[in-house]
Amino acid sequence: MMCAEELGAYGLRSLGIGERLLPRSDITLCDQFVLIGSGMIWNVYFGVLALAAGFFLATLLALGKAASSAWIRKPADWFVFLFRGSPLFIQFFLAYEAFVRLPDSIGVGLFGAEGADLGWLTRAYAGALVVLFFNTSAYAGEIFYGALLSVPKGDLEAADAYGLTGFTRFRRIVWPTMLRLAWPAYTNEAIFLFHATTLVFFSGFPAWRQQGDALYYASYFADKTFNPFIPYPIVALYFIVLTLIVISLFSAAGRRLNRHLPSSDRPRRPRAIGQLVR
Amino acid sequence: MFEYCSDPSALDGARWLSCYLTNGVHLRFYSSFGTVLLLLAITAPLALAFGFLGAAASRSGVAPLRWSGKTYTSMVRGVPDIVFFLFFVIALDQAFEWTRHQALCPGWDAPIRQGAEFNVCPEAKLPRSSSPQAWHEAYNFSLAIVTFAIVFGAFAANVLYGAMRAVPRAQMETAAAYGMTERQAFRRILVPQMWVYALPGLSNLWMILIKATPLLFLLGVEDIVYWAREIGGSKTSAFSYPHPDWRIWYFSGLLVFYLIFTKISEIVLARLTARLSAGQATAEGERLRRAAPAGPAA
């Protein structure tokens, strides 16, 4: 099998399993492919968890932005503005600095005299995930809000005619239509969230024991070999594959959301254009 | 800055703060905001030009030109842009040095790539090791500009390509009926009309470009993030203005700067969209037409 030895040594290196030292000299193509692939575990981890959790907060934010009460609307507006209006890069820096201070200031007050150990928030796996979760919620919340406003009036009138009210009306009429309308844009958001996960180890969060993501290892190799023409195309390749998987999963979900429509009314396959750095 | 600042250790309160915020490194910090604005001012038109060329190439009838245009426009879709940023900065640097090496040192026979080394002859080094520090910084900055322009040009090419396709076909057919050549129709009909379709995408791109400027820090330019980290870090009493770790305040400042910047851009772009949409056969143009009072146009 190709690269079997390297796969054993570095396949799970990004999780701290396997060889302790990274390859330093005589770096082979196998080393690069395996170690960068191992780093992809983190990109997938951040992307999947932030997206899954962010989906629910995004729905709440969209409803909050559409609420008639200013007490609900304003906080939702500000949350979305805060995370969409500033660079993710700065958000990471700021969150890290805040989390570093957290244990000895707020932690003590919140969790009694001895204070809970909140040090794990300074580690990327938790701290960066929190930031990505808030960030994608804000972006997706704005997308869902736009879709919420474009839910056809006829659908709502039909719901009223059937006597649907409150949560039932939301769950059976408003929410599915909102998702259907938002889906192409939401697919984009998912793709660019996965791309944004590469920023984690380049911003405030240090890589603990050299356990980093794909780009972290790629830049490690680029530094060691002073040759950018191999590691970066490898990352690119991995990400193209990841993007294609995301697109196919989301189009499958999109087909399900649109299955009641005649085929001519269905939206075209989503194209990944839009956000890049956030 | 102020006269009373000569002995910082004797100061306290507002006076200390006023001296602290106007000392030498802070002035450099403030001027680095200029660096960011300069980057935006140069990159935006450059990226638009790259994007225009890319979009025009994608429509070309010449196959190789079309393929290269398509490759350029699609390259940013599947791959995180930060990969390109990290890649191009080294790749461009090596490409420049390699080209100069070929031109300046024809007699050099040692291999350029030896293991982990990239050795070009001393004359081909960019910038020359003897050049002043300012040249090194300028070189880094221009590498960053070209990198930004390439990556954002690809995004702009996507937007402009879509906009060119959005111009109603009838317009181009009418141009052909009037006897215009393809090139004339492109220049006189397509390009003037495409901007209103491109504006939403370009507005989005501008916001993204603003939010991408902290990446300058990764490219080795002394930008606002660099100075915020430098100055914010805790300073011992060996410094004239000792203070604990204040980075959180500096980054909060940067956050506010970006929030204000994006908010202002949003307002300006909304106005621009309204102005460009007036009289256009688009939904927004229709909305404006209906909103306007009846009667002859004011």
Interface with chain B: mutation pick from A27, A271, A277, highest number of B CBs within 10 Å? A277
- Measured between CA atoms, the residue of chain B closest to residue A200 is B82
Q: Which residue has the higher pLDDT, A166 or A59?
A: A59
Q: Which helix (H) or strand (E) holds B118?
A: strand B117-118
Structural domain spans, chain B: 3-288
According to the model, what pLDDT value does residue A111 have?
A: 53
According to the model, what pLDDT value does residue B70 have?
A: 87
Q: Which residues of A touch B81 (CB under 8 A)?
A: 195, 276-277
Share of residues in chain A with pLDDT > 90 (%): 27
Share of residues in chain B with pLDDT > 70 (%): 89
The answer, yes or no, to whether residue B3 has pLDDT greater than 80, is no
Whether residues B82 and A82 touch (CB distance < 8 A) is answered with no
Specify which residues B113 forms β-bridges with: B118
Mean pLDDT along residues A232-237: 89
Which of A20-29, A258-267, B60-69, B109-118 reaches the highest mean pLDDT? Answer: B60-69
CA A172 to chain CA mean position, Å: 27
Q: How far apart are CA A230 and CA B123, in angstroms?
A: 27
According to the model, what pLDDT value does residue A276 have?
A: 40
Q: Which residues of A touch B113 (CB under 8 A)?
A: 227
User: Measuring CA to CA, how many Å separate B251 from each of A176, B89, B245?
Assistant: 40, 26, 12
Query: Model confidence over A162-171: pLDDT tens digits?
Result: 999 888 999 9
Whether residues B82 and A243 touch (CB distance < 8 A) is answered with no
Whether residues B211 and A86 touch (CB distance < 8 A) is answered with yes
Q: Strand pairing of B113-114 and B117-118? A: antiparallel
SS (H, E, C) chain A: CCCHHHHHHHCCHHHCCCCCCCCCCCCCHHHHHHHHHHHHHHHHHHHHHHHHHHHHHHHHHHHHHHCCCHHHHHHHHHHHHHHHHCCHHHHHHHHHHHHHHHHHCHHHHHCCCCCCCCHHHHCHHHHHHHHHHHHHHHHHHHHHHHHHHCCCHHHHHHHHHCCCCHHHHHHHHHHHHHHHHHHHHHHHHHHHHHHHHHHHHHCCCCCHHHCCCHHHHHHHHHHHHCCCCCHHHHHHHHHHHHHHHHHHHHHHHHHHHCCCCCHHHCCCCCCCCCCCCC
The number of CA neighbours under 13 Å toward the Cβ of A246 is: 29
How close B252 gets to chain A, by Cα (Å)?
7
The answer, yes or no, to whether residue B78 has pLDDT greater than 90, is no
Q: How far apart are CA A201 and CA A123, in angstroms?
A: 10
Closest partner residue to A277 (CB to CB) among B211, B225, B248 is: B211
- The CATH T-level fold of domain B3-288 is MetI-like fold (1.10.3720)
Q: Which residue has the higher pLDDT, A208 or B154?
A: B154
Q: Between A and B, how many residue pairs show a Cβ–Cβ distance under 8 A?
A: 130
B263 touching A (Cβ < 8 Å): yes
Contacts of residue A258, defined as CB under 8 A and 6 or more positions apart, other chains included, come to A180, A183, A265, A266, A267
Mean pLDDT along residues A181-202: 88
The answer, yes or no, to whether residue A275 has pLDDT greater than 60, is no
Closest partner residue to B90 (CB to CB) among A222, A244, A277 is: A222
B258 touching A (Cβ < 8 Å): yes
Query: Model confidence over B25-42: pLDDT tens digits?
Result: 788 888 888 888 988 999
Query: Model confidence over B236-276: pLDDT tens digits?
Result: 766 777 777 788 888 898 899 999 999 999 899 888 888 87
Instruction: Work out the mean pLDDT of chain A and round it to a whole number.
Output: 83
Q: Which helix (H) or strand (E) holds B117?
A: strand B117-118
φ, ψ for residue A21, nearest 5 deg: -85, 140
Q: Which residue has the higher pLDDT, B173 or B74?
A: B173
Mean pLDDT along residues A210-221: 86
Return the SS3 of B113: strand
Query: Model confidence over B85-129: pLDDT tens digits?
Result: 888 888 888 888 888 887 777 777 777 776 666 777 777 777 776
User: Measuring CA to CA, how many Å separate A203 from each of A90, A216, B225?
Assistant: 8, 11, 10
Q: How far apart are CA A93 and CA A81, in angstroms?
A: 18
B95 touching A (Cβ < 8 Å): no
B214 touching A (Cβ < 8 Å): yes
Instruction: Work out the mean pLDDT of chain B and round it to a whole number.
Output: 82
ipTM of the complex: 0.83
Mean pLDDT along residues A133-160: 90
Whether residues B259 and A81 touch (CB distance < 8 A) is answered with yes
Q: Which residues of A touch B117 (CB under 8 A)?
A: 226
Q: Which residues of A touch B90 (CB under 8 A)?
A: 222, 226, 228
According to the model, what pLDDT value does residue B297 have?
A: 46
Tell me the whole-structure pTM to 2 decimals. Answer: 0.84
Query: Model confidence over A27-36: pLDDT tens digits?
Result: 777 888 888 8
How close B163 gets to chain A, by Cα (Å)?
13
Count other Cβ atoms within 10 Å, centred on residue A235. Answer: 31
The answer, yes or no, to whether residue B6 has pLDDT greater than 60, is yes
Closest partner residue to B81 (CB to CB) among A25, A90, A277 is: A277
Interface with chain A: mutation pick from B58, B87, B117, B158, highest number of A CBs within 10 Å? B87
Q: How far apart are CA A152 and CA A157, in angstroms?
A: 9
Share of residues in chain B with pLDDT > 90 (%): 13
Query: Model confidence over A75-116: pLDDT tens digits?
Result: 999 999 999 989 998 899 888 888 887 766 554 555 555 555
Q: Which residue has the higher pLDDT, A218 or A12?
A: A218
Q: How is residue A220 written in tokens?
A: 């490690």
Domains, chain A, ordered by start = 42-216 (1.10.3720.10)
pLDDT band for position A260 (50/70/90)? Answer: confident
pLDDT band for position A277 (50/70/90)? Answer: very low
Site of tokens 């215009």:
B180
